[in-house]
Amino acid sequence: MVTSAAKGRTAHSETDYIARAEALAEGFAARAAEHDRTGSFPFENFRELSEAGLLSLTVPAAFGGAGAGARYTARVLGIVGKACSSTALVLSMHYINHLVMARSPTWPIRLSRKLAQETVEGLALVNALRVEPELGSPARGGLPATIARRTETGWRLTGHKIYSTGAPILKWYLVWARTDEAEPRVGQFLVPAGLPGIRIVETWDHHGLRASGSHDVIFDDVVIPLDAEVDVRKPADWRAPDVAQATVHTIFVAAIYDGIARAARDWLVTFLKTRAPASLGAALATLPRAQEILGGIEARLAVNARLIGSFASDFDDGLQVSAIESNIIKLTVTNNAVAAVEDALSLTSNHGLSRKNPLERHYRDVLCGRVHTPQDDSTKISAGRIALGI
């Protein structure tokens, strides 16, 4: 039972952390265009997040973190995503892993406590490295080419990971690999950054989220302890999805792209109020067509807010949610976000596509929402098969 006093403390804490995120967001937004232009990594944003205590948001309170759930964390990611989507993407992956650690019975408590304490005490981020050049996304099936070879004293890891979001700043990698055993097992190995044999190749030169540092990471016979094995199983045991991980991934990714769409909406409102063509003799905001399109954007964002908020609350309350439902939420929110930014572009002509204005950057960034696992085709096929009972 939660007492009134406890509820008061929780509410105060949430308000405090939301205020910290909002205070940092202004600086993030001011730097976002330059990081996008140069493809540079926003190290300063993460130093500020660490100093504000926001890196430990999803670390359990028992380990010194805020112990935040999905609803609260999604609000923070929406604020950061609106200001700098690349920062929000790296942050979301870090949050997801700590939230999963706290709930997963397969995580060794010694390792989860170690990562939690490092995050509370300093600048220590973690992300899962799963995608490979040959394999593609593990969600599509197949065994990883990255191999963990067991010796008497430890594991020796060799492989090549791509799209390793946050690579320049990560302190810990959760590497998806298979063992060299007669019957291979597959799973995660915890690897500290900077070990001999680890090399970051700066390959990330993307259309959107250009400051996310999603480079390649090469592992060349990297030695790690035997107890670095986190969760390694027979391939068949991975067929059932981890509902908790899939759900928080859906909610957090959705919050980021919704935040991008809200940044686009805010810029559009200012543009419509201040742009007054001589031929019109009034601001564009007076045109019924502009009002109608903006109203459509508002409708999409209102739906997004409801979907993210209610789904996150269900998760936090322990209600049973299905993997397909969470995938549909991601599909709906990200496509609403893309459509909202496209509608904004339809009202702004060349102004919206000018690189001196942020709308073209928001458009490039929001399109990346469709790339995240699960992709739209997988979600629709799965939903169709469930409906058909096949």
Q: What is the CATH number of the domain that holds 265?
A: 1.20.140.10
Q: Does the structure show a pLDDT above 80 at 327?
A: yes
| Amino acid of residue 341 | V
Region 62-83 average pLDDT: 96
Q: Does the structure show a pLDDT above 90 at 373?
A: no
Which residues fall within 8 angstroms of residue 202, CB to CB, at 6 or more apart? 215
User: What DSSP character marks residue 88?
Assistant: H
Rounded CA separation 126/128 (Å) = 7
| Amino acid of residue 223 | V
**Closest to 120 in 3D by CA, of 28, 72, 54:** 54
Region 149-170 average pLDDT: 97
132 and 89 in a common domain: no
CATH number for 109: 1.10.540.10
Query: Which residues are bridge partners to 233 per DSSP?
Result: 186
Q: Does the structure show a pLDDT above 60 at 1?
A: no
Give residue 349's pLDDT band: very low, low, confident or very high (50, 70, 90).
confident
117 and 147 in a common domain: no
**Segments in the chain forming alpha helices (H):** 4-38, 43-51, 70-83, 85-103, 109-121, 243-274, 288-316, 323-353, 359-367, 376-388
255 and 193 in a common domain: no
Query: Which residues are bridge partners to 127 per DSSP?
Result: 173
Task: Please report the pLDDT score of residue 140 as a whole number.
Answer: 56
* Boundary-marking domain end, from 238, 260, 292: 238
Q: Does the structure show a pLDDT above 80 at 93?
A: yes
**Closest to 91 in 3D by CA, of 319, 259, 338, 334:** 259
Q: Do the Cβ atoms of 249 and 96 come closer than 8 Å? A: yes
| 176 φ/ψ sector (left φ>0, alpha ψ -120 to 50, else beta) | beta
Region 333-340 average pLDDT: 98
* Boundary-marking domain end, from 105, 123, 141: 123
Which residues fall within 8 angstroms of residue 29, CB to CB, at 6 or more apart? 82, 83, 84, 263
101 and 141 in a common domain: no
Write b or e for each residue in 22-50: b if 16 or more Cβ atoms lie within 10 A of its Cβ, otherwise e. eebbeebeebbeebbeeeebbeebbebbb
Q: What percent of the chain is modeled with pLDDT above 70?
A: 95
Task: Please report the pLDDT score of residue 219 as a whole number.
Answer: 98
Q: Does the structure show a pLDDT above 80 at 132?
A: yes
231 and 264 in a common domain: no
Region 374-387 average pLDDT: 94
Low-confidence winner among 176-190, 232-246, 319-333 (lowest mean pLDDT): 232-246
Low-confidence winner among 16-20, 78-82, 340-344 (lowest mean pLDDT): 16-20
DSSP three-state, residue 26 = helix
pLDDT in tens, 243-264: 788 889 999 999 999 999 999 9
CATH number for 159: 2.40.110.10
Give residue 174's pLDDT band: very low, low, confident or very high (50, 70, 90).
very high
Any idea which residue has 């939301």 for tokens? 18
259 and 183 in a common domain: no
Domain boundaries, position 151: 128-238
| Amino acid of residue 188 | Q
